[in-house]
Amino acid sequence: MRLIIMGPPGAGKGTQAKYIAEHFKIPAISTGDIFRANVSEGTELGLAAKRYMDAGEYVPDEVTNAMVRNRIDEPDAEGGFLLDGYPRTLAQVEELDGMIRFTGHQLDAVVCLTVDRDEIVSRLLQRAQVEGRADDTEDVIRRRQEVYLEQTEPLIEVYKQRGIVVEIDGMGEVDDVTARIFEALDVVPES
Protein backbone atom coordinates (compact mmCIF):
# COMPACT_ATOMS: atom_id res chain seq x y z
CA MET A 1 0.00 0.00 0.00
CA ARG A 2 1.11 3.55 -0.74
CA LEU A 3 -0.65 5.83 1.69
CA ILE A 4 -0.63 9.38 3.01
CA ILE A 5 -2.04 10.52 6.32
CA MET A 6 -3.16 14.15 6.46
CA GLY A 7 -4.77 16.48 8.95
CA PRO A 8 -3.94 19.62 10.91
CA PRO A 9 -1.07 19.68 13.42
CA GLY A 10 -2.30 17.88 16.54
CA ALA A 11 -4.84 15.70 14.71
CA GLY A 12 -3.03 12.55 15.84
CA LYS A 13 -1.31 11.70 12.54
CA GLY A 14 1.89 10.40 14.14
CA THR A 15 0.05 8.15 16.59
CA GLN A 16 -2.23 6.67 13.94
CA ALA A 17 0.59 6.41 11.39
CA LYS A 18 2.40 3.90 13.62
CA TYR A 19 -0.67 1.65 13.88
CA ILE A 20 -1.44 1.83 10.16
CA ALA A 21 2.17 1.06 9.25
CA GLU A 22 2.19 -1.98 11.56
CA HIS A 23 -1.11 -3.21 10.17
CA PHE A 24 0.03 -3.05 6.54
CA LYS A 25 3.68 -3.95 7.30
CA ILE A 26 5.01 -0.82 5.63
CA PRO A 27 7.32 1.88 7.01
CA ALA A 28 5.76 5.05 8.42
CA ILE A 29 7.79 7.91 7.01
CA SER A 30 7.43 11.10 9.03
CA THR A 31 9.21 14.11 7.56
CA GLY A 32 8.90 15.89 10.92
CA ASP A 33 10.61 12.96 12.69
CA ILE A 34 13.40 12.84 10.10
CA PHE A 35 13.96 16.59 10.44
CA ARG A 36 13.97 16.36 14.26
CA ALA A 37 16.48 13.47 14.18
CA ASN A 38 18.74 15.55 11.92
CA VAL A 39 18.44 18.58 14.18
CA SER A 40 19.46 16.57 17.23
CA GLU A 41 22.36 14.96 15.36
CA GLY A 42 23.45 18.39 14.14
CA THR A 43 23.63 17.34 10.48
CA GLU A 44 23.72 19.80 7.58
CA LEU A 45 20.07 18.95 6.83
CA GLY A 46 19.20 19.59 10.48
CA LEU A 47 20.92 22.96 10.39
CA ALA A 48 19.04 23.87 7.20
CA ALA A 49 15.67 22.87 8.69
CA LYS A 50 15.89 24.11 12.27
CA ARG A 51 15.13 27.78 11.87
CA TYR A 52 12.00 27.05 9.82
CA MET A 53 10.77 24.43 12.28
CA ASP A 54 11.33 26.67 15.29
CA ALA A 55 9.25 29.38 13.64
CA GLY A 56 6.43 27.01 12.60
CA GLU A 57 7.20 27.59 8.91
CA TYR A 58 7.70 24.95 6.25
CA VAL A 59 11.20 23.84 5.33
CA PRO A 60 11.81 24.75 1.64
CA ASP A 61 10.41 22.26 -0.89
CA GLU A 62 13.80 21.46 -2.48
CA VAL A 63 15.21 20.34 0.86
CA THR A 64 12.12 18.35 1.85
CA ASN A 65 11.60 16.74 -1.56
CA ALA A 66 15.19 15.53 -1.79
CA MET A 67 14.94 14.03 1.68
CA VAL A 68 11.71 12.14 0.90
CA ARG A 69 13.06 10.92 -2.44
CA ASN A 70 16.08 9.40 -0.66
CA ARG A 71 13.90 7.81 2.00
CA ILE A 72 11.48 6.28 -0.49
CA ASP A 73 14.42 4.79 -2.37
CA GLU A 74 15.38 2.73 0.69
CA PRO A 75 14.70 -1.02 0.28
CA ASP A 76 12.12 -1.17 3.10
CA ALA A 77 9.83 1.20 1.16
CA GLU A 78 9.84 -0.90 -2.01
CA GLY A 79 6.58 -2.67 -1.15
CA GLY A 80 4.81 0.47 0.02
CA PHE A 81 4.91 3.21 2.64
CA LEU A 82 2.82 5.58 4.68
CA LEU A 83 3.76 9.25 4.50
CA ASP A 84 3.06 11.34 7.57
CA GLY A 85 3.59 15.08 7.14
CA TYR A 86 4.30 14.94 3.40
CA PRO A 87 3.19 16.33 0.98
CA ARG A 88 2.35 19.69 2.52
CA THR A 89 2.50 21.96 -0.55
CA LEU A 90 1.25 21.68 -4.10
CA ALA A 91 4.85 21.47 -5.35
CA GLN A 92 5.37 18.49 -3.03
CA VAL A 93 2.23 16.79 -4.40
CA GLU A 94 3.66 17.04 -7.90
CA GLU A 95 7.06 15.83 -6.79
CA LEU A 96 5.52 12.84 -5.02
CA ASP A 97 3.46 12.00 -8.11
CA GLY A 98 6.71 11.81 -10.05
CA MET A 99 8.40 9.61 -7.43
CA ILE A 100 5.49 7.15 -7.34
CA ARG A 101 5.04 7.11 -11.11
CA PHE A 102 8.71 6.19 -11.40
CA THR A 103 8.11 3.05 -9.32
CA GLY A 104 5.21 2.01 -11.59
CA HIS A 105 2.70 2.14 -8.74
CA GLN A 106 -0.07 4.49 -7.63
CA LEU A 107 -1.10 6.28 -4.50
CA ASP A 108 -3.79 4.03 -2.98
CA ALA A 109 -5.42 6.32 -0.41
CA VAL A 110 -5.10 9.57 1.49
CA VAL A 111 -6.38 9.27 5.06
CA CYS A 112 -7.66 12.65 6.27
CA LEU A 113 -8.17 13.01 10.00
CA THR A 114 -10.78 15.58 10.97
CA VAL A 115 -10.78 17.14 14.47
CA ASP A 116 -12.17 20.32 15.97
CA ARG A 117 -9.96 23.37 16.56
CA ASP A 118 -10.31 23.59 20.36
CA GLU A 119 -9.42 19.94 20.75
CA ILE A 120 -6.30 20.43 18.60
CA VAL A 121 -4.89 23.32 20.60
CA SER A 122 -5.39 21.48 23.89
CA ARG A 123 -3.75 18.33 22.46
CA LEU A 124 -0.75 20.35 21.25
CA LEU A 125 -0.28 22.13 24.56
CA GLN A 126 -0.41 18.77 26.30
CA ARG A 127 2.17 17.35 23.88
CA ALA A 128 4.38 20.37 24.55
CA GLN A 129 4.55 19.30 28.21
CA VAL A 130 5.07 15.60 27.51
CA GLU A 131 7.57 15.79 24.63
CA GLY A 132 9.06 19.23 25.12
CA ARG A 133 9.05 19.99 21.39
CA ALA A 134 10.60 23.37 20.60
CA ASP A 135 7.78 24.14 18.15
CA ASP A 136 4.94 23.55 20.63
CA THR A 137 4.84 27.03 22.20
CA GLU A 138 1.52 28.81 21.86
CA ASP A 139 2.65 31.32 19.20
CA VAL A 140 4.30 28.66 17.09
CA ILE A 141 1.28 26.36 17.44
CA ARG A 142 -0.90 29.18 16.12
CA ARG A 143 1.48 29.83 13.22
CA ARG A 144 1.61 26.13 12.32
CA GLN A 145 -2.19 26.03 12.17
CA GLU A 146 -2.23 29.08 9.87
CA VAL A 147 0.40 27.65 7.57
CA TYR A 148 -1.54 24.37 7.45
CA LEU A 149 -4.79 26.13 6.51
CA GLU A 150 -3.08 28.26 3.85
CA GLN A 151 -0.79 25.74 2.24
CA THR A 152 -1.80 22.20 3.10
CA GLU A 153 -5.56 22.00 3.58
CA PRO A 154 -6.14 22.84 -0.11
CA LEU A 155 -4.29 19.65 -1.06
CA ILE A 156 -7.16 17.56 0.31
CA GLU A 157 -9.34 18.90 -2.52
CA VAL A 158 -6.69 17.89 -5.07
CA TYR A 159 -6.76 14.31 -3.78
CA LYS A 160 -10.57 14.35 -3.46
CA GLN A 161 -10.77 15.04 -7.17
CA ARG A 162 -8.75 11.88 -7.72
CA GLY A 163 -11.27 9.96 -5.60
CA ILE A 164 -8.71 8.58 -3.13
CA VAL A 165 -9.54 10.51 0.06
CA VAL A 166 -10.74 8.52 3.06
CA GLU A 167 -12.13 10.97 5.59
CA ILE A 168 -11.93 9.78 9.20
CA ASP A 169 -13.36 11.35 12.33
CA GLY A 170 -10.23 11.84 14.46
CA MET A 171 -12.09 12.75 17.65
CA GLY A 172 -12.37 10.47 20.66
CA GLU A 173 -10.23 7.58 21.89
CA VAL A 174 -7.09 6.64 19.95
CA ASP A 175 -8.23 2.99 19.57
CA ASP A 176 -11.60 4.02 18.17
CA VAL A 177 -9.95 6.26 15.59
CA THR A 178 -7.59 3.41 14.62
CA ALA A 179 -10.54 1.04 14.22
CA ARG A 180 -12.29 3.55 11.93
CA ILE A 181 -9.16 3.88 9.80
CA PHE A 182 -8.69 0.11 9.44
CA GLU A 183 -12.34 -0.39 8.53
CA ALA A 184 -12.07 2.25 5.80
CA LEU A 185 -8.71 1.11 4.45
CA ASP A 186 -9.45 -2.60 4.42
CA VAL A 187 -11.78 -2.09 1.44
CA VAL A 188 -9.26 0.01 -0.52
CA PRO A 189 -7.79 -2.08 -3.36
CA GLU A 190 -3.99 -2.02 -3.56
CA SER A 191 -2.58 -0.77 -6.88
- Collect all residues with Cβ–Cβ distance below 8 Å to 106 and sequence separation of at least 6: 2, 100, 191
How many alpha carbons fall within 13 Å on the CB side of residue 44?
Answer: 2
Name the minimum Å distance from CB 144 to ligand AMP. Answer: 5
- Shortest distance, CB of residue 174 to ligand AMP, whole angstroms? 17
Active site residue 144: yes
Q: Is 59 in the site for ligand AMP (CB under 6 A)?
A: yes
Per-residue x/- mask for ligand AMP, residues 122 to 141, rule CB under 6 A?
Answer: -------------x------
Active site residue 13: yes
- Positive/negative CA dihedral, 21, 26, 32, 35: positive
**SS3 category, 81:** strand
List residues bridging with 109 in a β-sheet: 3
Residue closer to ligand AMP by CB (options 29, 185) is 29
Query: Which of 37, 179 has the CB closer to ligand AMP?
Result: 37
Among 13, 36, 71, 180, which one carries the catalytic annotation? Answer: 13
> Phi, psi (5° rounding) for residue 165?
-85, 130
Catalytic-labelled residue, pool 2, 36, 71, 88: 88
